[in-house]
Structure 1
Amino acid sequence: MNYYKNRLCLNCLTKDIENALEIYEAMDKNAVIGVLSGNYPNFDEALSDMKKYQAALENNISIGLGAGNPAQGLMVAALSGALKPNHVNQVFPYVGITREKVSGNDAHINALVSPSGIPGLVKISTGPESTKLPDGNIPVETAIALVKEMGGNSLKFFPMGGLKTIEEFKLVAKACGKSDFILEPTGGIDLENIEEILKICIEENVPKVIVHVYSSIIDKESGKTKITDVKRIKEIFEKLL
């Protein structure tokens, strides 16, 4: 698991295996490459294609929901059980199911929590049924404890909207630092705001940060993640560490 060796790690999307390998090499393998379950019409096609990425990237793939889509939660759990990837994105209520699916494997599973609008509280109602109900907002510290109890490894804070939820994010980072828990900031992160977001995590002693940078570094014409931008992110990592 190359990405565990570094305090800061990049999680980004790819157009194809060639683009994925370019990203992986540009980051000196300090990256997990997102492959979204929602991009496939069925389980078998997703499994077949993800195996190719898995082989090319030394298993450093990140099985994704696709914009935090709760409808993909069970698909992600099933794919995780079949593939045993190094990184899994999951909605909060399906973390336990996913851990059971990868039983005997040390796959990293995050738990999606969302901004609540109230600093210090996060929304854990990110599943397919709970999203239809009034928001389930709880203290960040409690959310972390629950994720640990379910076998999860980190909080994925999404959607951040870049710096729009920064006051909430500061308290999420503080709680992760105090709990020695991994944090994954996600949503609206770009080359302009990534450094500020990472600095907050470092100042709050978050042990490891897996920062998700998606559409902002994707070339709109080719659909590929831009390697020049990836290299810039690597430079930011090196500057901060």
Structure 2
Amino acid sequence: MQLTPNYINNRIALNVLVNSVENAKACYQAAEGHVVLGILSKNYDSDQAAIEDMKRYQKVISNAISVGLGAGDPNQSAMVARISAELQPQHINQVFTGVGASRALLNQDETIINGLISPTGRVGYVNIATGPLSSKATQKAEVPIETAISLLKDMGGSSVKFFPMKGLMYKEEYRAVAQACAENDFILEPTGGITLDNFEEIIQIALDSGVKKVIPHVYSSIIDKETGETRPEDVKTLYTIVRKLLNKDD
């Protein structure tokens, strides 16, 4: 099983959702392998069903799967940790409080695990109460982004998943998160409301901040509403933008 992602040496890698093995293959080829394909645990009735199906994807895309929650659903945290222990994927999506369990069950440090943090309305602060119980708490747990990153590192996390961004609604908060990731040698995963139109600006902010690796999640905006499939042609467009940004950055 290939644990080290194909894109590990690239500064930018895509994360898109797929709904079939065929869709995964097409999107993987469109991005020339510089992508992880999101498969949502929420779509399965049991651990075994998820494991058996996701193994089909692993075989055809060099294990470039990203085990997802499902719209950041904290109630999927434990399932993601359990099935990932069996699958050993290249990428895992987790709520903040689920990172430690995922890393411990994996028993290796190559898989990238993100921890979900949310905007607060205050630049430089993020909400880390994104777990099954903490997300329901009356009061949010707002901490400096640097503290959130340190806690994630303590738990074995690889990156912050800043969600929901709602595109550029939280632009200045996002910029502060990007700067903190750069200063603390941490991966940044912007998520929520990213489209073909705002993708370049969102990535450019991260690059200008000095982030070492960016994994943008581009989901609903490039999914065909009739088929539920991510459009490979849109993935190709995104990857063209990625190459342009990388060349400019060099």
Q: Could you tell me the TM-score, scaled by structure 1's length?
A: 0.98
Gapped runs of 5+ residues in structure 1?
none
Partners of 2:157 and 2:11 lie apart in 1 by 18
1:164 to 164, 169, 193: 169
Q: Is the 8 A contact 1:115 1:165 kept in 2?
A: yes
Counterpart residue number, 1:30: 34
Counterpart residue number, 2:15: 11
Counterpart residue number, 2:193: 188
Indicate the larger mover: 72-81 or 219-228. 219-228
Instruction: State yes or no: 1:225 paired with 2:230.
Output: yes
Instruction: State yes or no: 1:204 paired with 2:221.
Output: no
Render the CA deviation track for 1:209-229: whole Å, top value 9, x for unaligned.
000000000111111111111
Indicate the larger mover: 139-148 or 221-230. 221-230
Instruction: State yes or no: 1:214 paired with 2:219.
Output: yes
> What is the deviation of 1:169?
0.3
1:1-241 equivalent positions in 2, closer than 5 A? 1-104=5-108, 106-133=110-137, 134-241=139-246
**Equivalent position amino acid for 1:188 in 2:** G
Q: Is the 8 A contact 1:154 1:182 kept in 2?
A: yes
Q: Is the 8 A contact 1:92 1:124 kept in 2?
A: yes
Task: Name the SS of the counterpart of 1:160 in structure 2.
Answer: coil
Task: Name the SS of the counterpart of 1:145 in structure 2.
Answer: helix
Partners of 1:202 and 1:156 lie apart in 2 by 16
Gapped runs of 5+ residues in structure 2?
none
Q: Is the 8 A contact 1:84 1:105 kept in 2?
A: no
**Equivalent position amino acid for 1:171 in 2:** A
> What is the deviation of 1:105?
5.0
Count of matched residue pairs: 241
Partners of 1:100 and 1:189 lie apart in 2 by 31
> What is the deviation of 1:5?
2.1
> What is the deviation of 1:50?
0.7
Task: Name the SS of the counterpart of 1:162 in structure 2.
Answer: coil
List 4+ stretches of structure 1 deviating above 4 A.
none
Task: Name the SS of the counterpart of 2:72 in structure 1.
Answer: coil
Partners of 1:69 and 1:115 lie apart in 2 by 16
**Equivalent position amino acid for 1:208 in 2:** K
RMSD: 0.8
> What is the deviation of 1:232?
0.7
Partners of 2:86 and 2:233 lie apart in 1 by 34
Render the CA deviation track for 1:60-116: whole Å, top value 9, x for unaligned.
100000000000000000011111100000000110011000003521110000111
Partners of 2:185 and 2:206 lie apart in 1 by 12
**Equivalent position amino acid for 1:76 in 2:** V
Q: Could you tell me the TM-score, scaled by structure 2's length?
A: 0.95
Partners of 2:159 and 2:6 lie apart in 1 by 17
